[in-house]
Chain A
Amino acid sequence: MARTVLQTAPSMPALFARAAVTARGRGGDLPDTRLARTGVRVEAAALAAYDRVCGFSLADPLPPTYPHVLAFPLQLALMSDRSFPLALPGLVHVRNRIDLLRPVRADEALDLEVWAERLARHPRGATVDLCASVSAGGAEVWRSRSTYLARGAKAPEGAPESDLSLPVGELPRPVATWRVPDSAGRRYARVSGDVNPIHLSGLTAKAFGFKRAIAHGMWVEARALGALTGRLPDAMAVDVVFRKPLLLPSTVTLATAPVVGGGWDLAVRNLQSGAEHLLGTVRPL
């Protein structure tokens, strides 16, 4: 296994550009590479901007989704590298799992490590898991597994089946309505650095086969968890599947239901069609 420690976060626009021009001719197995950064500090102004966009209160414990923002540039570096078997353009985020092992404070120095694993077969292509582990003081405090679908791609012979099933209880009752504006993708791109063109404008999204710009899955997840501020366990497992892309602009509803034993079930659906954009579970750890 090759482990590379980066001194700074890589430039994401450059990575997206590299991924686009090197998209063709990819294939084979996942690289056995791990990318890491050590002693990463959260920038107060960046956190505040993220909180505002996602509906979190500015507090010392980080939002459960915030470490993803720190780890994502490394994951993007991994995915944009020529050794990565799937083409980044058109890759769709279909599932995200986060384990928050304890509250992480904004002033802690964090060590990040990311890698890819589990190239799997999917009826519409292949999926891959981008994993991240975040440690503080030598102990893991947060980990995540983001599953991406490459439509039309082929997983190697003998690859396992992709698992995107998530049992979620009945969620008949919408608790909030969000008018998600056309600018939602650009706003989240500014605070997360995820400048994937499919989120930025209708024109750039069309180039990748979407009717309109689509919201970042991680923004929808963060916004849903932000709506539960003050009512989430200190340590928790969050598991969400992203179903229909949330086309911008849209009006959507959030449905929540508390679960016996603690935690929540969640759904974000289109107000008109009822189409599911996100289904999720939160369980105490």
Chain B
Amino acid sequence: MAPQTRKAAIVGGNRIPFARSNSAYAQASNQDMLTATLDGLVARFGLQGQQVGEVVAGAVLKHARDFNLTREAVLGSRLSAATPAYDVQQACGTGLEAAVLVANKIALGQIESGIAGGVDTTSDAPLAIHDEMRRVLIALSSARTLRQRLEALAGVRPGMFVPEAPRNAEPRTGLAMGDHQAITAREWGISREAQDELTVRSHHNLAAAYERGFFDDLVTPYLGLTRDENLRPDTSVEKLAKLEPVFGTGDPDATMTAGNSTPLSDGASAVLLASDAWAAERGLPVLAHLVDAQTAAVDHVHGGEGLLMAPAYAVPVLLARNGLTLQDFDFYEVHEAFASTVLATLKAWEDPAFCKERLGLDAPLGAIDRSRLNVNGSSLAAGHPFAATGGRIVASLAKQLHEAGPGRRGLISICAAGGQGVVAILES
């Protein structure tokens, strides 16, 4: 039976304020944060003891013991224990990918409701024992004789006692994500000033959104935090200009600083999706629908493309399938991994050569109205707990579209490690 498809509704969201690394949430585990975030969502939408179709979430930095992170969070939450759950992981695309997966099952009629989420901590990080030490211990556990045990132990070196911390670096290139982006920023000629200006706008927009109460029904305080810890409402281009570059520093004209790059952060987010009927039965609002989504990947290792440029490829595919142009949107949410990521992506869409040679388009996608970009702030100001960013954006954009009235359209673009991108269209 070919099921009829329908568009999944975004009912609302909840997140905890994002914290800077080793700060307010230093003691909180991924499971703690995800559970608290789910419980906040449950409280907001009266889901106590209720079963939802599925909870899908993930974390980028994950302890081995957290193999069933989302299901364990559900079991510790106020949702019915009969709610199934599974983990996904697509680097910084995790949160949005989770929402797409939930929306697709709703679209197919396989579930009536679902929660998509994500969580990450850079504080309670999954340190691993040194890989050579790990091999020694495995050999030791399989050793049968004293001699074999001694031989295994003879392989131990002092340096092996140093644990391995997860690195924000690409496994195949050894470059930090910021150093990758520095290459892209240079290739696209993204100036320091333009990056700092975008950063200031992110902080000011996020601060203004908090001031007007936009986040009152999107954020639940946690462990003493009521707003994103990284937010600097009074930052300015002059203040940001004082910072030294931290990425691509081999270049005398390096432009990327701790200000115009996202900080390591801790946090979690969740979005409630449903069929229109499920929401109506419970008297819950429909803020927007998830219309369509697309992923793309680039060869950042050997292919000469920038690590974070995949969304530039995903968007034209999505536009073509939906018969839309890049200008047909009321709001754009382009994840600010780095200010230069946003600027390079926008510039690529305006560039005839890139659009023709790389995207295979007859004409460039063109420029967007910058006043519609990240209107409630984005990751530069809020922080970026990797897997939590997608849920933050989906819920905020859905609410923004709902406020603007019916028939409004929003585009989400999120870049991810490994040269990947996830993009989606929401419509009120």
Q: Tell me the A residues contacting B by CB distance below 8 Å.
A: 44-45, 48-49, 51, 57-60, 106-107, 229-231
Chain B residues whose CB sits within 8 angstroms of the CB of A59 once the complex forms: 32, 35-36, 39, 222
Interface size for B (C-beta < 8 A) is 18
Check B78 for interface membership: any CB of A closer than 8 A.
Answer: yes
- Nearest chain A residue, comparing its CB with the CB of B28: A58
Contact A107 B224 (CB under 8 A): yes
Interchain CB contact (< 8 A) of A60 among B27, B31, B79, B222:
B222
Question: Would you list which residues of chain B between 32 and 54 have a CB under 8 Å from chain A?
Answer: 32, 35-36, 39
> What are 26 A-B pairs with beta-carbon distances under 8 A?
A44-B223, A45-B27, A48-B28, A49-B27, A51-B32, A57-B35, A58-B27, A58-B28, A58-B32, A58-B36, A59-B32, A59-B35, A59-B36, A59-B222, A60-B36, A60-B221, A60-B222, A60-B223, A106-B223, A106-B224, A229-B35, A230-B35, A230-B39, A230-B75, A230-B76, A230-B78
- Nearest chain A residue, comparing its CB with the CB of B16: A60
- Nearest chain A residue, comparing its CB with the CB of B49: A231
Check B104 for interface membership: any CB of A closer than 8 A.
Answer: no
Chain B residues whose CB sits within 8 angstroms of the CB of A58 once the complex forms: 27-29, 32, 36, 223
Chain B residues whose CB sits within 8 angstroms of the CB of A230 once the complex forms: 35, 39, 75-79
Q: Tell me the B residues contacting A by CB distance below 8 Å.
A: 27-29, 31-32, 35-36, 39, 75-79, 81, 221-224
- Nearest chain A residue, comparing its CB with the CB of B73: A57
- CB proximity of A262 to chain B, nearest CB, Å: 11
- CB proximity of A62 to chain B, nearest CB, Å: 12
| New contact pairs (11) apart from A58-B27, A106-B224, A107-B224, CB-CB < 8 Å | A45-B27, A48-B27, A48-B28, A49-B27, A57-B76, A59-B39, A60-B36, A60-B221, A106-B223, A229-B76, A230-B75
Contact A57 B75 (CB under 8 A): no
Sorted nearest first, the 4 A-B pairs with minimum C-beta distance are A48-B27, A58-B32, A57-B35, A229-B76
- Nearest chain B residue, comparing its CB with the CB of A226: B76
Chain A residues whose CB sits within 8 angstroms of the CB of B221 once the complex forms: 60
- CB proximity of B360 to chain A, nearest CB, Å: 50
- Of the listed residues B78, B222, B223, the one surrounded by the most CB atoms of chain A closer than 10 A to its CB is B223
CA distance A39 to B276 in the complex (A): 48
Chain A residues whose CB sits within 8 angstroms of the CB of B79 once the complex forms: 230
- CB proximity of A56 to chain B, nearest CB, Å: 9
Chain A residues whose CB sits within 8 angstroms of the CB of B36 once the complex forms: 57-60
- CB proximity of A231 to chain B, nearest CB, Å: 8
Chain A residues whose CB sits within 8 angstroms of the CB of B32 once the complex forms: 51, 57-59
CA distance A230 to B75 in the complex (A): 7
Chain B residues whose CB sits within 8 angstroms of the CB of A48 once the complex forms: 27-28
- A59-B32, A59-B36, A59-B39 known; A44 vs B224 contact (CB < 8 Å): yes
- CB proximity of A55 to chain B, nearest CB, Å: 10
Chain B residues whose CB sits within 8 angstroms of the CB of A229 once the complex forms: 35, 76
CA distance A39 to B222 in the complex (A): 21
